[in-house]
Structure 1
Amino acid sequence: MADKNDKSVMSSIILNTVYVSTWIALSGTVILYNKWILAYYGFDYPITLTMWHMLFSSVLAFACVRGGYVPSINMTMESYCKAILPISALFAGTLWLGNAAYLYLSVSFIQMLKALMPVAVFMVGCGMGTESFAMDTLVNMVFVTAGVAIASYGEINFVVIGVFLQLLSVATESTRLTLVQILLQRRGLTLNPITTMYYIAPASLLFLSLPWGVIEAQRLFSDPTVRFDVLIFVSNAAAAFGLNMSVFLLIGKTSALTMNVAGVVKDWLLIGLSVLLFHAEVTPLNLGGYLIAFFGVCYYNYKKLQGMKAKQAAAAASAAAAKAEDIEDRPLLGGSGNDLKKTPNRQ
C-alpha cells in the first residue's frame, strides 16, 4: 500500500514538473520571440502581431471544436455578452500593450515591472470584492512596489512610454483575472483551453481591429520594408497558441498559485536570457530593487499557500465534525427511539 502511495506521489510530482517546465519554456519562448520580431526583425507592429496570434488561435480552436475533437458548451448570448466579451477586451488589451512595450524596454526590465502583478490583482480584487483587505498584505504590496520603484530608478534605458504601456498591460491583466472569477466562475462556466480560445480569441481579434485601423493599418500597408516570413510568423503564432494552452493546463492540473511560483523562476531565467541574447544592461540597482520585489512576491505566495491550507483544514474539520454529529444522532441498536420504546419487555 505504501509503495502505491509513493508511486502516486512520485507520478504527481513528475507530471506537475512537466506542466511547469512546459509553461516556463513556452512563455519564455513567446516573450523572447516577440521581442525579436518587434525590435530586431523589423516588424514594429505590435497590434498586427497580436491580431495574427488571435487569428491563428481562432482558426485552430474552431477546427478542434467544429471538427468534434473537443466538446463545446452551451453558451447563451447573455453569458457571451456579459462574460466573454469583457474578458476578451481585456485580454486583447493585455497582449497588445505588453507587446508594444517590447519596442521601448528590455525584456529584463519588463519582467521586473511584471512583479507588480500581485499588487494590481490585490488592489483590483479589493475594489471588486474578490480579495479581502488586510493590513499585512497591504504592507507586503508596498514592499513589492518599493522594490520595483528602485529597479526602475536604476534602469539605464528607462523610456516613459514603454513603462506606461507595460503598467497598463499589468492593469488590464489584473482586471481580467478578477473578472474571470466574477463573470465565469460565478456563472458556473467551465471552459477547457480549446473552448476558451474558441470563444475569446475571435472576440479579442475584433477588439484589436479597432486600434489597428487607427494606429497601424495605414502605416503597415504603405511600408515597403515590411517582411512576412511564413516560417517565422507561423512558428511564432504556434508558440503563442501553445502558451495559452499550457496556461490553462497548468492552472487546471495544479493551481494558479503554482503558476505564480513558477513565474518567479521564469522571470529570473528571462532576465538572464535577455542579458545573454539581447545584451540588455542590468545595473546593480536594477537587481537590488528586483530582489526586494522578488522577496515580497515570494512572501505573498507563501501567505497565499498558508491561507489555502488553512481553508482546507477548516473544511476538513467541518466535514469531520458533521460526520461525528451524524454518528452521535444514530441510535445504538440501529432503530429509532420510538422503536425502542415500543419493544415489549420480555422479562
Structure 2
Amino acid sequence: MAISEEKSKAMWLQIAVTYGYVTLWIGLSSTVIMYNKWVLSFSGFPYPVALTLWHMVFCSFLATVIVKLGYVEPIGMSRETYLRAIVPIGFLYAGTLWLGNAAYLYLSVSFIQMLKALMPVAVFGVGCIFGTEAYSPATLANMLVVSLGVAIASWGEINFVLVGVALQMLSIATESTRLTLVQILLQRRGLKLNPITTLYYLAPACAAFLLVPFALIEAPKMLADAELVIAPAIMISNAAAAFGLNMAVFLLIGKTSALTMNIGGVVKDWLLIALSWALFHSPVTAVNLGGYALAFAAVCWYNVQKLNAMRAAAEKTAPSSESTDEELASLMKDGKTRSPSVKRPAGTSAEHKRSPST
C-alpha cells in the first residue's frame, strides 16, 4: 500500500514538474513574441534585422561567458564539423529570425500564428525532398487540408498585407529547412548540445550572417532616422527575454520531450491570438477563426497519427537497447501520464519547437 502511494505521489510530482516547464515556456514564448511586436511596431524601433542581430550578440556573449567561466563544458567540435553542420544551420536560423520578425511590421500577431499552421506542411515537403519524411497519399491529403484552412483564414484577414505574408512564408521555408538539416547534420553526427553550448556555437554564426543585411539594408536607414528610439532598458530586457526563451525551450525538451512542448504550443497559439486581439486590438473575423480551426484540426489529426506510429515503433524496441532514440524514450515516459491527443513536432525530434525569438 505504501509503495502504491509512493508511486502515486511520484507520478503527480512528475506531472506537476512537467506542466511547470510547459507553463514557463508558454509564458516566455508569448512574452517574447508580444514584446518583439511592440518593439518593432510601436516603440520607434522598426528594424527587425538590428533587433535580431542584437538578440544573437547578447546570447553569444552570455553563452561565451558561461562557458569560459567553466560552468558548462564545450563539446569537442572539429572545424570541418562546424563548417558543414553549424554554419548552414546558423544561416537558416538567421533567415528564420529576420524574416519572422520583419513580418510583425506588416501583420498582426494573431494572423502570423495562423500562418504558422503551415509549418508541418513545409517540414513534410522538405523532409520528403531530403528523405527524412516518408511520402504517403494520406499524409499529402492531410497537408492539403491544412493548407486549405490557412487559405480560408487568409481570405478572412482584414489587414492582409502581401509583403508581410511573403516574409512569413519565407520564414517558414527557412525554418522547415533548418529543422531538417538539424536532423541530418547534427543528430546523425551524434552531437549532444545543451542550451548553453547550442547558443555558444550557433549564435555567433547566426550573428555573422545577420551582419550582412544589417550593414547593407538597415544601418544606413538607422543612421538617417532622426526619430529612431533606442532605449537601453527595453533592448536589454528584450534580449534577456529571448535568451530566457532559448533556455526554456531546451529545458522543456530535455526534461520532458519535444512532444510535450507541442502540447503547450496548442495553448500558446490560441493564447497569442487572444492577446493580440486584446492588447493590440487586432481584428479577428469569424472566417479567420473558421479557417484556422480547420487547419488546426488537420494538424492535430496528423500529429496524433504520427504519435501513434512513434509509439508503435517504440514498443518494438527493447528499453535496454542502446539504439533507442532519446526522444522515443521521452515519448514512452510521457505516454504513461498524458493523453495521446497531442500536437507533435513536425520534423525533428528534439529541435522542433517554435523559433525562439519569433
Aligned length: 319
Q: Percent identity?
A: 62
Match of 1:137 in 2: 139
Aligned to 1:150: 152
- Equivalent of residue 62 in structure 1, options 61, 64, 77: 64
Shift of 1:4: 2.4
| Cα contact 1:47–1:212 (8 A) shared by 2 | yes
* 1:287-338 C-alpha deviation (Å, 9 max, x unpaired): 000000110111122112111210111114997xxxxxxxxxxxxxxxxxxx
2:351 is aligned to none
Distance 1:158 1:263 in 2: 24
Question: In the alignment, which residue of structure 2 is the partner of 1:127?
Answer: 129
Equivalent residue runs for 1:170-249 within 5 Å: 170-249=172-251
Q: What's the RMSD between the two structures over aligned residues?
A: 1.3
Distance in structure 1 (CA, Å) of the matches to 2:6 and 2:314: 24
SS of match in other structure, 1:122: helix
User: Any idea what the Cα deviations from partners look like across 1:190-238, whole Å, max 9, x if unmatched?
Assistant: 1000000000011100000011111101011121211111111111000
Q: CA deviation at 1:93?
A: 0.5
Given that 1:95 and 1:169 are in contact with CA atoms closer than 8 Å, whether structure 2 keeps it comes out as yes
Summarize deviations over 1:47-100 as a string: whole Å, max 9, x none: 000000001000000000011011111010011000000011111110000000
Unaligned runs of 5+ in 1: 320-347
User: Which residue identity does 1:72 align to in structure 2?
Assistant: P
In structure 1, how many angstroms separate the alpha carbons of the residues matched to 2:250 and 2:103?
Answer: 24
Shift, 1:256, TM fit:
1.9
Please report how far the alpha carbon of residue 260 of structure 1 lies from its aligned counterpart in structure 2 after TM superposition.
Answer: 2.3
Task: Report the equivalent of 1:100.
Answer: 102
Q: Distance in 2 between matches of 1:10 and 1:134?
A: 39
The letter for the 1-side match of 2:95 is G
Query: Could you tell me which residue of structure 2 aligns to residue 328 of structure 1?
Result: none
Judging changes above 3 Å, is the alpha-carbon distance between structure 1 residues 85 and 318 closer, same or farther for their aligned structure 2 residues? closer
SS at match of 1:315: coil
Higher normalized helix content (fraction of residues) = 1
Q: Which residue of 1 aligns with 2:294?
A: 292
Tell me how far apart the structure 2 counterparts of residues 137 and 266 of structure 1 sit (CA, whole Å): 25
In structure 2, what is the Cα distance between the partners aligned to 1:142 and 1:259? 25
Q: Is the 8 A contact 1:124 1:178 kept in 2?
A: yes
The reply on whether 1:33 has 2:35 as its aligned counterpart is yes
- Structure 2-normalised TM-score? 0.87
Residue number in structure 1 paired with 2:15: 13
Alignment of 1:267-286 (within 5 A): 267-286=269-288
Partner of 1:345: none
2:213 alignment partner AA? P
Distance 1:288 1:66, change over 3 A: same
* 8 A contact 1:94–1:169 mirrored in 2: yes
Q: Does structure 2 conserve the Cα–Cα contact (< 8 Å) formed by 1:257 and 1:301?
A: no
How far apart are the structure 2 equivalents of 1:196 and 1:157? 37
Does structure 2 conserve the Cα–Cα contact (< 8 Å) formed by 1:261 and 1:298?
A: no
Q: Does 1:162 align with 2:164?
A: yes
Mean Cα deviation higher: 248-257 or 286-295: 248-257
- Asked if structure 2 preserves the Cα contact closer than 8 Å seen for 1:260 and 1:301, the reply is no
Shift of 1:244: 1.0
- Of residues 125-134 and 54-63 in structure 1, the stretch that sits farther from structure 2 once superposed is 125-134
Structure 2: unaligned runs, 5 residues or longer:
322-358
**Higher mean Cα deviation, 92-101 or 133-142?**
133-142
User: Do the aligned residues in 2 keep the contact of 1:88 with 1:201 (CA within 8 Å)?
Assistant: yes
Provide runs of 4+ in structure 1 moved above 4 Å: none
| Offset of residue 259 of structure 1 | 2.0
For 1:31 and 1:220, the matched residues in 2 are separated by 23
C-alpha distance in 1, partners of 2:320/2:198? 35
Aligned residue number for residue 80 of structure 2: 78
Retained in 2: the 8 A contact 1:23–1:250?
A: yes
The residue that corresponds to 1:2 in the other structure is 4
Length-normalised TM-score, structure 1? 0.90
The AA in structure 2 aligned to 1:237 is A
Secondary structure of the equivalent of 1:282? coil
